[in-house]
Amino acid sequence: MRRRGCRQDYKKPRHLPAEPVPGMKAEPDGSNARYFHVVIAGPQDSSSEGGTFKLQLFLPEEYPVAAREVCFMAKIYHPNVDKLGRICLDISKDKWSPALQIRTVLLWSQALLSAPNPDDPLANDKPEQWKTSKAQATETARARTWLHAINM
């Protein structure tokens, strides 16, 4: 199942670096070389610890000049992830550089799970709770992890 908002119409082949990313697995799709299946383990000591998160990674035709697109497939309670699973990262906006490797993008996506940033939200319904009651927001995120990202 593909989420709305994530592109899926790529044709040129691209490959992930041979060096594995700790806590992550990324494999190219058999029918579309610009589309990758990614699995990220929730980082220790975070509200997503113990979770296994499936993501989609797409490389636009203009890649590496244009930033890649990453979407969470599992529901996640996070101020930097919207209800469609799209991720808000500095490196996907004004700080993108063609020098950034896919490995770096995956590491930043994993780090986002440990460090929610309510001051740069993508999900308008969540940043206030992260700012006013971080403990409650963390518990909600942990509950969502257990509900949607355990045993995936």
Q: In this predicted model, what pLDDT tens digit does every residue of 91-148 receive, in sequence order?
A: 666 677 777 777 777 888 888 898 888 887 876 777 888 889 889 999 999 999 998 8
| pTM greater than 0.75 (yes/no) | yes
Q: Provide the strand spans (E) within 15-149.
A: 24-28, 35-41, 52-58, 69-72
Q: How confident is the model at residue 151 (pLDDT cuts 50, 70, 90)?
A: low
Q: What is the pLDDT of residue 19?
A: 67
Contact 8, 2 (CB under 8 A): yes
Decide if 6 is catalytic: no
Our CA angle for 139, 48, 23, nearest 5°, is 170
CA angle 97, 111, 126 (to 5 degrees): 100
Catalytic-role residue among 88, 91, 100, 107 = 88
In this structure, which CATH number among 3.30.465.10, 3.10.110.10, 3.30.1370.60, 2.60.40.10 belongs to the domain 24-148? 3.10.110.10
Q: Specify the higher pLDDT residue, 110 or 15.
A: 110
